[in-house]
Amino acid sequence: MQAMKTVIAVMGLAVLSVGPAGCAPRVAITPKMDHNQLDSLALLHYMAGQPAVTNDEACRAVLVLVDGAETPGTFDARRQALETRGMVRGEWNLQASDAVDRGTLAYMIFKGCGVRQGMNTWLSQGTGLGDRRYALRRCIQEDIMPYGLPYQIPTGGEVVRALSRADDVLAKKGAYEDKVISSPADVGP
């Protein structure tokens, strides 16, 4: 019994010591243009050529992915919509102008696409420790994202590639209605 208490105490201290050290430094970037002026297709084209993507741009793109429609509004409204769906956590304190990291993007995609959870992912849900790391790991295993560390900042092209692969996952799961396209008019505006 005493040994069990010692193990629990040591594990508790280890968890507490990781605390802020587990967070990557924020990297604020200044976008070349206001993405709110672009439609969703132009947003993806714009993001593909950027060296990094902001949290605001990533949140908008992920909402377009899972909703299939544009989500007008501010970053705070988008972040709140993602928090309500469990696709981001409030304790992450995402800032609009910060660059999105691989872990955050993976978590949004992981939750939005309903990727099957592994045991580590399931266990990390209660505490939030390692949630982005395990989400990235599952996205790598599902071939949605390439290998990388959760705190690394992906290029815009890598973000668009991940969104494209996530779109394929949603299509395979039947998230989109089957529609036969026989002419350009069937595609819509």
SS3 labels along the chain: CHHHHHHHHHHHHHHHHHHHHHCCCCCECCCCCCHHHCCHHHHHHHHHCCCCCEHHHHHHHHHHHHHCCCCCCCHHHHHHHHHHCCCCCHHHCCCCCEECCHHHHHHHHHHHHCCCCCHHHHHHCCCCCCHHHHHHHHHHHCCCCCCCCCCCCCCHHHHHHHHHHHHHHHHHCCCCCCCCCCCHHHCCC
Q: At 101, is the pLDDT very low, low, confident or very high (cuts 50, 70, 90)?
A: very high
The domain limits of the chain are: 25-174
pTM (two decimals): 0.78
Q: What is the pLDDT of residue 83?
A: 94
Structure-model confidence comparison of residues 11 and 161, the more confident one: 161
Q: What is the pLDDT of residue 183?
A: 58
